[in-house]
């Protein structure tokens, strides 16, 4: 290559140590803003899309943001609960389809269960819901089937990859408290399906029927039929006030729901009082949406939120923070520009005799400028390219390797 | 000196002509004054004199590198005193060859690319031009060193590369500013033979600044610059 660009490239190559140092400096300065912008853009798109795909959300009054993050991304410490009757009230009002969400427990591969008692092993959220959720999110099973029965679980694509799970493997619920066998109940859950990846938080979650989640809650359980048990230490022969045989605490609960014992599982108490984290309402029409929102607008204990509006608020906050970051970026850019100006100045001084020779030989006046300018342009172009590539790689790592805060890693 | 110079238009054979030229560096006491001076095309001129007497200044005035404070300078039928900066650069680039005492090769270019520097700056290096450069390098004895950078060449080789750079575009005026100042006697002889051979081959006018009186017999004219310069009192 000839011309001032060719000479600049030769000069950069000849002084490759200096060139590499400047390149590294520029790349490091550029990689952070590029990565942050890429991630923010991706988050914004993903958040808004997921928010828009969730029409209305019923939850207990409290933090609106926590409720949305918990229900859409299975994250946050949102602890307020609604009960099944709240969801039933929505159903009975005829506003639309109601999808229950129970997001309290976490699961891990059965093989890790023993170690997990004492160690903080990687796990995944267990989402108790119904089949309507899969329709709403457009989720389908890449392998196996959806969780049609009590005790079945389907795993998101990333969970399957992370834990190396296939059909027939088992998950086990994580005890809420280590070293507390009296309180903790671990249910062994078979994997009956693996969901096709859809690039959302669903990839990093495990789904089961909401009744399975209630079993993990301890509300429902299974055990041998008490009327057939002869051991008097397991069952008291006398009946309670309703004429039902009463089991003693010694009677062991089943640890796994199988096709053979599924019928032995039952729930005690009124299902209306069973807990849910939240419920998604898919209104039949805009009119129903408006009426439902109006009805719950004045409810003192429940929210009926539009998640997209909450996410817009969150993004507004994030973008306000980003403006501070942008101000900082401006200062970094100015300092980098000054640094580059210093480099040019020193370079021009070091190359004074060379530029003088070019002047004597009759090189056009602009030659000196372009010799120096091309070096800066080339270094900036390469460092931008490197920073962009690094940013894309980091972005890919964050989005595909579950490093995101909002991916329910 | 020739006080009877006529219009340059009428004297085609005269390649360098100066009339009533005055030159001084801003803030310095040095002053160069030339009433009239002319050299014919193809002449070989040595500029001699002690350091600071204005030899290089005079050579640079002839080459359009410096502009006179007053008076007129014609070189190769171009009025350098009236020329714009761009015209002077074009003149030097296309019609003048320079050889310097410090060689002034670019350290990051190979010998071949140094020879082709003008073409690189022009943004085009044709295959013919590259062949021409290689041929010239071979002729002056550095054909086998073309891929080397200046730092790995001997002093004599560097000067030969510099000579190739000066001659590649076949200038009509070759200015050599103490080209043997840094060379040992044997290499000096070699370089001088080379310069005169190439000047003879091209038929260009050759102006050389030198301190070495032993070389003067090779020149047609010898101008002692003490005769045209003075130190003004402060």
Interface of A with B in 12-41 (CB under 8 A): 13-15
Question: What value, to the nearest 5°, has the Cα angle with vertex A306 and ends A305 and A307?
Answer: 100
Q: Return the residue of B nearest to A6 by Cα.
A: B120
For residue B58, give the CATH number of its domain: 3.40.50.300
Residue B99 in contact with residue B175, Cβ under 8 Å?
yes
Number of domains in chain A: 2
Average of per-residue pLDDT across A326-355 = 88
Structural domain includes residue B3: no
Q: Which of A257, A281, A305 is the last residue of a domain?
A: A281
The per-residue pLDDT for range A191-237, each reduced to its tens digit, is: 999 999 988 889 999 999 999 988 888 787 766 555 565 566 555 55
Average of per-residue pLDDT across A93-105 = 92
Residue A41 has pLDDT above 90, yes or no: no
Judge if A144 and A29 occupy the same domain: no
Domain, as residue range, for B25: 8-231
Q: Return the residue of B nearest to A11 by Cα.
A: B108
Judge if A29 and A81 occupy the same domain: no
Judge if A192 and A122 occupy the same domain: yes
Number of domains in chain B: 1
Judge if A197 and A325 occupy the same domain: no
A108 Cβ neighbours under 8 A, 6+ residues apart:
A116, A121, A122, A123, A124, A163, A171, A172, A174
Average of per-residue pLDDT across A346-365 = 91
In this complex, which of B65, B90, B109 lies closest to A360 when CB atoms are compared? B65
The per-residue pLDDT for range A126-162, each reduced to its tens digit, is: 999 999 999 999 999 999 988 878 888 999 998 998 8
Q: So what's the pLDDT on residue B158?
A: 93
Judge if A34 and A129 occupy the same domain: no
Domain, as residue range, for A382: 3-47+314-400
Q: What are phi and psi of B25, to 5 degrees?
A: -85, 135
Residue A282 has pLDDT above 60, yes or no: yes
- For the beta carbon of residue B193, count every other beta carbon within 10 angstroms: 11
Sign of the torsion formed by the C-alpha atoms of A321, A323, A329 and A331? negative
Q: How many helices (H) and strands (E) does chain A have?
A: 12, 16
The structure tokens 């085609």 sit at B12
Judge if A20 and A103 occupy the same domain: no
Q: What is the 3-state secondary structure (H, E, C) of A18-41?
A: HHHHHHHHHHHHHHHHHHHHHHHH
Structural domain includes residue A300: no
Residue A245 in contact with residue A235, Cβ under 8 Å?
yes
Rounded to whole angstroms, the Cα distance separating A226 from A223 reads 8
Judge if A72 and A39 occupy the same domain: no
Query: Hey, what are A176's tokens?
Result: 């809420």
Share of chain B above pLDDT 90, in %: 50
A357 vs B contacts (CB less than 8 Å) = 100, 104, 106
Structural domain includes residue B2: no
Name the 3-class secondary structure at A71.
Answer: helix
B47 Cβ neighbours under 8 A, 6+ residues apart:
B55, B58, B59, B207, B208, B209, B210, B223, B225
Structural domain includes residue A212: yes
Mean pLDDT over each residue of chain A, to the nearest integer: 83
Question: Are A362 and B94 within 8 A, CB to CB?
Answer: yes
Rounded to whole angstroms, the Cα distance separating B209 from B58 reads 9
- Helices marked H in chain B: 55-63, 85-95, 111-115, 117-122, 127-139, 155-167, 185-202
Question: Are A2 and B96 within 8 A, CB to CB?
Answer: no
Residue A235 in contact with residue A217, Cβ under 8 Å?
no
Share of chain A above pLDDT 90, in %: 36
Rounded to whole angstroms, the Cα distance separating A361 from B97 reads 8
Question: Given CB atoms, is B151 within the 8 Å cutoff of chain A?
Answer: no
Judge if A40 and A96 occupy the same domain: no
Average of per-residue pLDDT across A24-32 = 90
Question: Given CB atoms, is A360 within the 8 Å cutoff of chain B?
Answer: yes
In this complex, which of B94, B121, B149 lies closest to A367 when CB atoms are compared? B121
Rounded to whole angstroms, the Cα distance separating A67 from A73 reads 10
């Amino acid at each position: 290559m000839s011309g001032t660009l060719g000479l600049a490239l030769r000069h950069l190559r000849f002084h490759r140590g200096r060139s590499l140092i400047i390149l590294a400096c520029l790349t490091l300065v550029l990689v952070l803003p590029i990565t942050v912008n890429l991630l923010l853009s991706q988050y914004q798109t993903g958040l808004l899309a997921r928010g828009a795909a969730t029409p209305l959300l019923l939850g207990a009054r409290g933090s609106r943001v926590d409720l949305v993050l918990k229900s859409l991304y299975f994250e946050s410490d949102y602890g307020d609960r609604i009960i099944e009757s709240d969801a039933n009230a929505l159903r009975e009002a005829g506003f639309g389809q109601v999808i229950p969400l129970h997001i309290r427990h976490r699961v891990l591969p059965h093989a890790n269960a023993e170690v997990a008692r004492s160690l903080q092993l990687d796990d995944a959220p267990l989402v108790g819901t119904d089949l309507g959720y899969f329709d709403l999110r457009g989720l389908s099973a890449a392998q196996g089937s959806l969780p049609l029965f009590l005790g079945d679980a389907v795993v998101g694509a990333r969970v399957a990859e992370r834990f190396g799970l296939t059909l027939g493997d088992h998950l086990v619920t994580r005890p809420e408290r280590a070293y507390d066998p009296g309180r903790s109940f671990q249910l062994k859950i078979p994997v009956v399906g693996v969901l096709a990846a859809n690039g959302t938080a669903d990839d990093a979650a495990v789904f089961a029927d909401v009744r399975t989640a209630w079993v993990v809650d301890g509300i429902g359980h299974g055990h041998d039929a008490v009327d057939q048990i002869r051991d008097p230490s397991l069952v008291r022969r006398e009946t309670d006030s309703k004429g039902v045989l009463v089991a003693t605490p010694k009677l062991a609960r089943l640890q796994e729901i199988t096709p053979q014992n599924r019928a032995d599982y039952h729930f005690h108490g009124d299902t209306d009082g069973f807990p849910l984290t939240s419920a998604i309402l898919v209104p039949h029409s805009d009119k129903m949406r408006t009426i439902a929102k109006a009805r719950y607008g004045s409810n003192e204990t429940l929210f009926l939120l539009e998640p997209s509006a909450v996410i817009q608020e969150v993004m507004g906050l994030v973008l306000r923070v980003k403006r501070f970051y942008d101000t900082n970026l401006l200062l970094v850019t100015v300092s980098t520009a000054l640094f580059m100006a210093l480099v040019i100045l020193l370079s021009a001084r070091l190359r004074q005799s060379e530029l003088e020779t070019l002047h004597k030989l009759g090189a056009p006046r602009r030659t000196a400028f372009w010799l120096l300018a091309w070096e800066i342009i080339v270094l900036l172009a390469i460092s931008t390219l490197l920073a962009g590539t690094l940013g894309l790689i980091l972005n890919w790592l964050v989005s595909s390797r579950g490093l995101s805060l909002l991916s329910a890693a | 000196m020739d006080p009877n110079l006529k219009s340059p238009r009428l004297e085609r054979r005269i390649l360098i002509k100066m009339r009533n030229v005055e030159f001084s560096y801003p803030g310095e006491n040095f002053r160069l004054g030339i009433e009239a001076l002319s050299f014919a095309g193809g002449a070989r001129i040595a500029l001699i004199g002690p350091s600071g007497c204005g030899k290089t200044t005079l050579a640079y005035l002839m080459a359009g590198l410096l502009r006179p404070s007053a008076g007129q300078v014609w070189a190769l039928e171009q009025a350098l005193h009236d020329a714009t900066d761009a015209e002077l650069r074009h003149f030097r680039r296309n019609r003048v060859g320079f050889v310097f005492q410090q060689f002034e090769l670019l350290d990051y270019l190979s010998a071949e690319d140094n020879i082709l520097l003008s073409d690189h700056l022009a943004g085009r290096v044709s295959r013919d031009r590259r062949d021409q450069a290689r041929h010239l390098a071979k002729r002056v004895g550095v054909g086998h060193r073309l891929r080397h950078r200046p730092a790995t060449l001997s002093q004599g080789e560097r000067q030969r590369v510099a000579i190739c750079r000066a001659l590649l575009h076949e200038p009509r005026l070759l200015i050599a500013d103490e080209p043997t100042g840094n060379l040992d006697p044997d290499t000096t002889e070699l370089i001088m033979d080379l310069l005169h051979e190439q000047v003879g081959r091209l038929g260009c006018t050759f102006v050389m600044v030198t301190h070495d009186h032993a070389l003067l017999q090779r020149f047609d004219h010898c101008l002692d610059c003490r005769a045209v310069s003075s130190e003004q009192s402060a």
